[in-house]
């Protein structure tokens, strides 16, 4: 399976989250003991709500579409590597705590050797290059026969990270996305692929923030390609068509 652009050799490998280290993979469940940190046991599930929904970049055993409760998706994180640059940072999504909301995405199951490989890759892609921290959440599969929620790892960019941009109007976010691109591609692709995922895989779900930005972007794009001559005039003159 193809991965994102190769990781820079000059960047140090970040440590794995404590609840994923071999010494702490116990069967303790969240809330089982006061003050105890939630821990994972193999297999590990990784929840993605941004580019991970269409390009995980690591090998996995299975995947499920579903949602997590208590968070809203927002284009509030800056990106100077994958979808932007130092000169023109892009806008990518993070999660905002919101008790009455839910965020849809994809959870990936990793087993055996896939666990260490996927976590090392994601720690570089999301933590070192993206500024995201890890957290454990309860993932609810879309499947009707799903019984209990699944404990999953998620990457969240908090306001404390240096790339955090915070809120802006949908029009301003769209305008920033239009002019930004990075090592993984144009920021427009990021927005449209995420909107397509929600539209085709989660048609019953609402994401006003996402679709409002998509709508603003589509309304702005024609203005960038306006020409002084009407298309009919250009098409009727072969010399102008060649220029």
- Classify residue 189 as exposed, middle or buried by CB count within 10 Å of its CB (0-12, 13-18, 19+): middle
Alpha helices (H) in the chain, listed in sequence order: 113-122, 170-178, 187-201, 208-224, 231-236, 238-242
How large is the C-alpha radius of gyration of the chain? 20
Q: Alpha-carbon distance 49 to 29, whole Å? A: 24
Angle at 209 between CA 205 and CA 213, to 5 degrees: 120
- Axis crossing angle, helix 187-201 with helix 170-178, rounded to the nearest 10: 120
Q: Alpha-carbon distance 91 to 176, whole Å? A: 7
Q: Alpha-carbon distance 240 to 243, whole Å? A: 5
Q: What DSSP character marks residue 201? A: H
Q: Annotated catalytic residue: which of 59, 113, 126, 148? A: 126
Tell me if residue 86 is catalytic: no
Q: In angstroms, what CA-CA distances link 97 with 160, 214, 216?
A: 14, 23, 25
Tokens 């299975």 map to which residue? 62
Closest CA to 212 of 171, 175, 178: 171
By annotation, the residues acting in catalysis are 126
């Amino acid at each position: 399976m193809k991965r994102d652009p190769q990781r820079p050799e000059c960047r140090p490998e970040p440590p794995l989250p404590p609840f994923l280290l071999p010494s702490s993979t116990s069967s303790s469940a969240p809330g089982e003991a006061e003050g105890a940190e939630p821990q994972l046991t193999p297999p590990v599930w990784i929840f993605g709500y941004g580019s991970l929904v269409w390009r995980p970049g690591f090998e996995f055993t299975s995947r499920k579409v579903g949602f997590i409760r208590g968070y809203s998706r927002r284009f509030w994180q800056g990106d100077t590597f994958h979808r932007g640059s130092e000169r023109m940072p892009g806008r990518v999504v993070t999660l905002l705590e919101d008790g009455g909301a839910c965020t849809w995405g994809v959870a990936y199951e990793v087993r055996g050797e896939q666990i260490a490989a996927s976590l090392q890759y994601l720690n570089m892609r999301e933590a070192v290059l993206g500024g995201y921290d890890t957290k454990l959440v309860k993932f609810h599969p879309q499947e009707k026969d799903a019984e209990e929620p699944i404990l999953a790892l998620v990457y969240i960019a908090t306001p404390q990270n240096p790339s955090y941009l915070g809120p802006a109007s949908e029009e301003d976010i769209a305008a920033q996305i239009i002019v930004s691109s990075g090592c993984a591609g144009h920021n427009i692709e990021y927005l449209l692929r995420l909107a397509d995922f929600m539209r085709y895989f989660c048609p019953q779900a609402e994401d006003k923030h996402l679709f409002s930005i998509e709508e603003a972007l589509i309304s702005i794009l024609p203005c960038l390609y306006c020409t002084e001559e009407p298309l009919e005039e250009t098409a009727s003159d072969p010399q102008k068509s060649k220029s």
